[in-house]
Chains A and B, each alone.
Chain A
Amino acid sequence: MTGWKQINWRGWLAFGLLLLSWELGARATPKLQLYFPPVSQIFAALGQALMAGPVAQHLGITLGRFFEGYLLSAALAVTLGVVLGYIGFLHSLFETVIELLRPMPSVAIIPVAILLLGIGDSMIVAVTVYATLWPILINTIDGVRHVEPTLIDTGRSFGLKRRQILWQIILPGAAPYIVTGLRIGLSIALILVTTAEMIAGSKGLGFFILDEERGMNSANMYAGIVLVALMGYLLNRLFLLLEARALRWRHGMRVRESA
């Protein structure tokens, strides 16, 4: 786990210097402050906006949509992936569809979603589900198909039924792949929620950022950006924490493999 010793002090120092040079640069060129307000102003705006209320509400709405879309998508994709990975016939049936749809930039689906669902929560969640589905689905299928055949034969020799093999061997065996898919999906879900909110929201952080830009409140706009960045960062940390717990058995193995 991350103890004090594992913190990359050098990296944080470099980040601090970056912020400092922004601050000094912005102060030195007042003309540009409309575009690049000093960092101190951005953080002041962030504090104020959070205190004042609406931003906290936007944040809550974005988080709500994110979790709804992400969790729904994860449940759907893992289930579908296990089924497609396990049943060769179904996989060969859907492989081409998946290969064709997956590379399409998911934001292209937003107009379709607006057409079908209007602008609102359900559209944003649907788009998030759609985009997040692919990395999780692909990785789950891959994971299930890559489970060591000797493991499955071992299970069969011990008299396990197909269903038991699925739960006791295939799922844990594919877990590292599934988790990788879930991690990629997390970032994609955040991108899609924010983007969809910018295009068709009247609430949420994506909307807030764009709205403040239109009102020329650049400090507020940046405050919104900092907030989404922070949200992404913390959600990723949370994910890594849960991953380390769920795949504890792999932790030392990876350290040894990379040694």
Chain B
Amino acid sequence: MAILDIQNLSKSYRQAGGDITVAIGNITCQVEAGEFVSFVGPSGCGKTTLLMSIAGLLAPSSGRVTINGKEVAGPPPNLVLLFQEYNKSLFAWRSVLGNVRFGLAARGDHSAAAEKKARLLIELVGLKGFEKHYPWELSGGMQQRVAIARALAYQPEVLLMDEPFGSLDALTRLELEDTLLRLWAELKTTILFITHDIEEAIYLSDRIWVLSRRPSQIIQELKIDFARPRDQLSTRAGSRFMELRNDIYRQIGSPATL
């Protein structure tokens, strides 16, 4: 059974002028436990609205989301959403360790072992030695690492990621992609990832859903079967990779395909 089941999800807003905008058209898809799946779509296609609805932070206009067979009505306990804006989602008044411990405390883990677990996670995301730093003392990439560690500390069955590397420079982005894949393989979390970066989606995912422009709909599903662990150079250099990239780009890259 799919861990995450999205049935006929749609979301419309009434705008200030009274007009109704349909952000999400009608989306149906399933994610299997342990999978790494991505939505890829042009910017402004309602990706964030989609993730917020799945995360139970926004009520959908119609359709339903179930996790492990339980319908989502409000933030579900076994799922967490990681935002793109790490500088807005980290707690400025908590140190790196404090932020990661928050993830454990939110799970109800206030034990003495919690600090040990938090330190381990900080090490896993490559921030050993920065436990006592405050977020503003870290670079963007490091801050997003803290946010990832905090999310994983919550031990979610499903981790939703909203363009988490979207505001990082290219090199940092590649580094973090590999960190994320390593953690995913180690912790066996299910990841639902959103990005407008086609190559990033291909590099990371088992499956990709290509989204149309607003109102967003799934226009194609692609299975990505590159061997793991993947490599930034060799995986991306293959001709199959190029083919997939071109294929997706043709569908969403130009407005003519609307």
Q: Which residues of A contact B (CB under 8 A)?
A: 148, 150-151, 153-154, 156-160, 168-169, 172-173, 175, 249-250, 252-253, 256
**Within 8 Å of chain A (Cβ to Cβ): is B134?**
yes
Q: Are B57 and A153 in touch, CB under 8 angstroms?
A: yes
User: What 1/0 mask marks residues of chain B from 34 to 68 whose CB sits below 8 Å from any chain A CB?
Assistant: 00000000000000000010011100000000000
Given contacts A249-B95, A252-B134, 13 further A-B contacts (CB under 8 A): A151-B88, A154-B83, A156-B57, A157-B81, A158-B80, A158-B154, A169-B91, A172-B91, A173-B93, A175-B93, A250-B92, A252-B137, A253-B134
In whole angstroms, what is the CA distance A148 to B135 when docked?
15
Question: Measured between C-beta atoms, what is the minimum distance from A62 to chain B in Å?
Answer: 35
**Within 8 Å of chain A (Cβ to Cβ): is B106?**
yes
In whole angstroms, what is the CA distance A250 to B102 when docked?
19
A-B contact pairs, 16 of them (CB 8 A): A150-B83, A150-B85, A151-B91, A153-B57, A153-B83, A153-B89, A157-B55, A157-B57, A169-B91, A249-B93, A249-B134, A250-B92, A250-B93, A252-B134, A252-B136, A253-B92
Find chain B residues with CB under 8 A from A252 CB. Answer: 134, 136-137
How many residues from B make CB contacts under 8 Å with A? 25
**Within 8 Å of chain A (Cβ to Cβ): is B75?**
yes
Most chain A beta-carbon contacts within 10 A, residue among B79, B81, B91, B94 = B91
**Within 8 Å of chain A (Cβ to Cβ): is B126?**
no
Find chain B residues with CB under 8 A from A151 CB. Answer: 88-89, 91
In whole angstroms, what is the CA distance A153 to B95 when docked?
20
In whole angstroms, what is the CA distance A30 to B102 when docked?
70
Q: Are A157 and B91 in touch, CB under 8 angstroms?
A: no
In whole angstroms, what is the CA distance A157 to B94 when docked?
18
Find chain A residues with CB under 8 A from B154 CB. Answer: 158
Find chain A residues with CB under 8 A from B55 CB. Answer: 157
Residue on B nearest A154 in the bound complex, by CB: B89
User: What 1/0 mask marks residues of chain B from 81 to 112 whose CB sits below 8 Å from any chain A CB?
Assistant: 10101001101111100000011001000000
**Within 8 Å of chain A (Cβ to Cβ): is B77?**
yes
In whole angstroms, what is the CA distance A250 to B137 when docked?
11
Residue on B nearest A175 in the bound complex, by CB: B93
Find chain A residues with CB under 8 A from B80 CB. Answer: 157-158
Find chain B residues with CB under 8 A from A153 CB. Answer: 52, 57, 81, 83, 89
Question: Measured between C-beta atoms, what is the minimum distance from B154 to chain A in Å?
Answer: 6
In whole angstroms, what is the CA distance A253 to B133 when docked?
12
In whole angstroms, what is the CA distance A157 to B77 when docked?
8
Question: Measured between C-beta atoms, what is the minimum distance from A160 to chain B in Å?
Answer: 6
Most chain B beta-carbon contacts within 10 A, residue among A148, A150, A175, A252 = A150
Question: Measured between C-beta atoms, what is the minimum distance from A31 to chain B in Å?
Answer: 60
Assess A148 versus B88: contact at CB under 8 Å? Given A153-B57, A156-B57, A157-B80. yes
Question: Measured between C-beta atoms, what is the minimum distance from B65 to chain A in Å?
Answer: 14
